[in-house]
Amino acid sequence: METDLQGPELSRLKSACEDIAIDGEGVRLIVGRHHESVFAGAVLARSLYQREQAIHVTFVEPTVSGENLARLVEDQHHDTVCLVGVSSRGELPCPDSRNCIALGSDVEGVDTSVGSIDAVIPSAAAFALQVLQGTREALQIAIMGLAALTMEEEPVGASSSLLEGALKQDVIGEARMFRLYGVNFLPPRECLQLTIRPYLQGISGNKEECERILDEADIPLAHRGNPLGELSREEKQRIVSALVPRVRVEVLTSLVGRNFEIVSENQEGALRWASSVWSLMRTAWAEQREGVALAVWMGDRARSLRSLMDLHIRHSTEVIEAMDNASRAINEGEIAVEGPAAAVRVHDTKTSVLADVGEILITDTLSQHDSVILSSEHGVSVTWKRGIASLQQAMRVMQSAGLTPTSTSSTSVVLPANTDRSLIVESLKAMGANSE
């Protein structure tokens, strides 16, 4: 792929980088925990590594106070600090001894700012190529991240331009197919049984029901051990036909649709299809394993990728079990309506899986509510519908109310178990009022 960035939005990002220089021996990357920011951090880290530059990476919440940022900037003696996908509450008093650069960030007081908060990956790509002399590999990381993000929202602006260029140059391929984790390396039953994005009511976690679907679809036993993606077009269509009466229409559109193939990755690898990359990035965020994800995106296709894949399988299994617990709690009446939210007590459940449970419930069983509060002995998870507030807006509201949220997805956070519930409800009301 050409390392030139085409399109007016990308040209503006490159122009903003023209007068930037990286001097000194060390660069500190302060990266937001948002999965888009982690990919942007990988683009920069890979380019700095190839320059044999000393790097220190710190992950922070997508929204952080100016004072906390200042402490991080002063904490270590790096000449250059890059803020990646970070929004600050208050100005960052950047010391004269540091070169502070904001990439896809909303931070006042920095020396240089490139790109907006909604163009984190393109901003990092432009900076890597223009300032760090980044190579094809760095741009491929950016393309992989943007392709994965299409699983949850349509790309716009510079992101759209980058993907269009990658398609024209055959860096990625586009196909209509199953948008499931493991479509190219897991057999059909496992793809259906293990999926949580989307979650298939009565199918996810149910081995027997998955086998019945394959029986109805007339999939020969000899083919059931092959990856789902290797089945014939007719066999895939028969599986979809068997799923139609079992799942809601909106779930079916998440199950089958546009998917991107990253052609530089191994054909049987976990990073070959955007749907699998997206599932792994979502799990890494929910489980707070950004460091492992960064290593994988940078190119560690051995130990780190294996670790992330194993984590994803455990996470998916735990989410399915937690959904059973949540459904049982709702059926037994352990649910209350608190302001705009439905509140459910889910016993013996880790907070790291509650975000996925909340997102499943808010699109299905509890879809009449704008938000869902799930609590267990270990913590509280808060999920809100898309369009109510961006993650940065939600965190600003909660932090201003004295809460300490930890992000787990673009529409969810977790809080300590002893958090004052009334503050959560008031924050959700304020978020809803801001969206009107």
pLDDT at 26 over 90: no
Class level of CATH domain 318-435:
alpha beta
The per-residue pLDDT for range 243-281, each reduced to its tens digit, is 999 999 989 989 999 999 999 999 999 999 999 999 999
Question: Region 363-373: what's the mean pLDDT?
Answer: 94
Regarding the domain delimited by 8-166, which CATH topology (the fold level of the hierarchy) does it fall under? inorganic pyrophosphatase (n-terminal core) (3.90.1640)
Tell me which residue of 340, 328, 321 sits closest to 365, measured CA to CA: 328
Average pLDDT, the chain: 93
Q: How far apart are CA 284 and CA 381, in angstroms?
A: 17
Report the run of H or E that residue 337 belongs to, with start and end: strand 335-338
Hey, what are 341's tokens?
């939210």
SS (H, E, C) 375-419: EECCEEEEEECCCCCCHHHHHHHHHHCCCCCEEEECCEEEECCCC
According to the model, what pLDDT value does residue 109 have?
86
Question: Region 206-232: what's the mean pLDDT?
Answer: 97
**Could you give phi then psi for residue 363, rounded to 5 degrees?**
-105, 0
Give the pairing type, strands 371-376 and 341-345: parallel
Query: Which sequence spans correspond to the domains of the chain?
Result: 8-166, 184-258, 318-435
**Could you give phi then psi for residue 149, rounded to 5 degrees?**
-70, -20
- CB-count burial class (<10 Å; 0-12, 13-18, 19+) for 140: buried
Tell me which residue of 413, 404, 435 sits closest to 34, measured CA to CA: 413
Q: How far is CA 89 from CA 97, 139, 382, 399, 412, in A?
A: 22, 31, 21, 9, 19
Report the run of H or E that residue 63 belongs to, with start and end: strand 63-65
The per-residue pLDDT for range 386-417, each reduced to its tens digit, is 999 999 999 999 999 999 999 999 999 999 99
Three-state SS at 59: strand
Nearest-10 crossing angle of helices 351-362, 274-286: 120
Percentage with pLDDT > 70 across the chain? 98
- How does residue 102 score in pLDDT terms, banded at 50, 70 and 90? very high
The per-residue pLDDT for range 164-196, each reduced to its tens digit, is 999 999 999 999 999 999 999 999 999 999 999
The per-residue pLDDT for range 1-22, each reduced to its tens digit, is 455 667 788 889 989 998 898 8
Alpha carbon 136 to chain centroid distance? 23
The per-residue pLDDT for range 63-101, each reduced to its tens digit, is 998 888 888 888 767 789 999 999 998 777 777 777 889
Contact call for residues 58 and 28 (beta carbons, < 8 A): yes
- CB-count burial class (<10 Å; 0-12, 13-18, 19+) for 401: middle
Q: How far apart are CA 132 and CA 150, in angstroms?
A: 27
Q: How far apart are CA 103 and CA 37, in angstroms?
A: 10
Q: How far is CA 82 from CA 11, 15, 56, 85, 192, in A?
A: 21, 18, 10, 10, 41
According to the model, what pLDDT value does residue 3 have?
52
The per-residue pLDDT for range 147-158, each reduced to its tens digit, is 999 999 999 999
According to the model, what pLDDT value does residue 2 have?
53
- How does residue 436 score in pLDDT terms, banded at 50, 70 and 90? low
Tell me which residue of 109, 100, 151, 139 sits closest to 409, measured CA to CA: 151
Overall residue count recorded for the chain in this entry:
436
